[in-house]
């Protein structure tokens, strides 16, 4: 069994609309266990560093502004093929293109305000988890 950890964010648009429970329920019911979680408001520096790979893109500054506009909930998810599973349950970046029944198709407001984040590879999962959590804050199940 390929048990993995991935990093997930419930983004400002979803927290503002009280969708934390709804989103976690969808993740949990798809085999993704929450093994660490906290709510916080990102600083500008934290948001810029988290999305550093997109620095220079036209959407980068408005993305940073949006990510600091309200609190977020960050979590580590653990489960079989957790990285791909989380991306599948979220749906693709643009909610207009996301498959019906995905988090983004059902809840996202726009490409930018798209309700959830999930790591896209084992390397980004490791980097993103370490960006927010220490190993002893993670309560692994496996
Ligand atoms: P994802 O979040 O699906 O991994 P990404 O890594 O390509 O997508 O981009 C990070 C975030 O940046 C994305 O969730 C929303 C925002 N974004 C990406 N492309 C955008 C665009 N063309 N217009 C506005 N925001 C965009
Ligand atoms: Mg991405």
Distance 40 CA to ligand 2 centre (A): 20
Cβ–ligand 1 distance for 59 under 6 Å, the answer: yes
Q: Please answer whether residues 117 and 51 qualify as being in contact, where contact means their C-beta atoms are separated by less than 8 angstroms.
A: no
Angle CA 73–77–79, to nearest 5:
160
Q: Is 116 in the pocket of ligand 1 (CB under 6 A)?
A: no
Which pLDDT tens digit goes with each residue over 40-80? 999 999 999 999 999 999 999 999 999 999 999 999 999 99
CB distance 113 to ligand 1 below 6 Å? no
- Helix/strand/coil for 66: helix
Q: Does the ipTM surpass 0.95?
A: yes
- Written as six digits, the tokens of 110 are 């726009």
114 annotated as belonging to a binding site for a ligand? yes
* Residue 142 falls in the annotated catalytic set: no
For residue 128, which of 62, 53, 32 has the smallest C-alpha distance? 53
CB atoms within 10 A of CB 111: 15
Pocket probe mutation, ligand 1, options 93, 112, 123, max atoms within 8 Å of Cβ: 93
Q: How far apart are CA 105 and CA 31, in angstroms?
A: 20
Task: Express each pLDDT in 69-119 by its tens digit.
Answer: 999 999 999 999 999 999 999 999 999 999 999 999 999 999 999 999 999
| Rounded distance between C-alpha atoms, residue 101 and residue 19, angstroms | 15
Cα torsion angle, 121, 126, 129, 135, sign: positive
CB 85 within 8 A of CB 31: yes
Q: What pLDDT, on the 0 to 100 scale, is given for residue 117?
A: 99
Q: Which ligand is nearest to the CA of 63?
A: 1
pTM for the complete prediction?
0.98
Q: Flag whether 44 is marked binding.
A: no
Q: Tell me how far apart the alpha carbons of residues 87 and 98 are, in angstroms, rounded to a whole number.
A: 11
Predicted confidence (pLDDT) at residue 142 exceeds the cutoff of 80: no
Give me ligand 1 centre to Cα 124, in Å.
15
């Amino acid at each position: 069994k390929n048990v993995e950890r991935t990093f997930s964010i419930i983004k400002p648009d979803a927290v503002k609309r009280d969708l934390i429970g709804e989103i976690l329920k969808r993740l949990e019911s798809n085999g993704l266990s929450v093994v660490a979680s906290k709510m916080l408001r990102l600083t500008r520096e934290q948001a810029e560093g988290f999305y550093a790979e997109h620095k220079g893109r036209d959407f980068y500054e408005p993305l940073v502004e949006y990510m600091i506009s309200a609190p977020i909930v960050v979590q580590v998810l653990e489960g079989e093929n957790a990285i791909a599973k989380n991306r599948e349950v979220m749906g693709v970046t643009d909610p207009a293109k996301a498959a019906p029944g995905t988090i983004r198709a059902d809840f996202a407001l726009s490409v930018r305000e798209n309700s959830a984040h999930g790591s896209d590879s084992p390397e980004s999962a490791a980097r993103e988890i370490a960006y927010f959590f220490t190993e002893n804050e993670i309560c692994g199940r496996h």
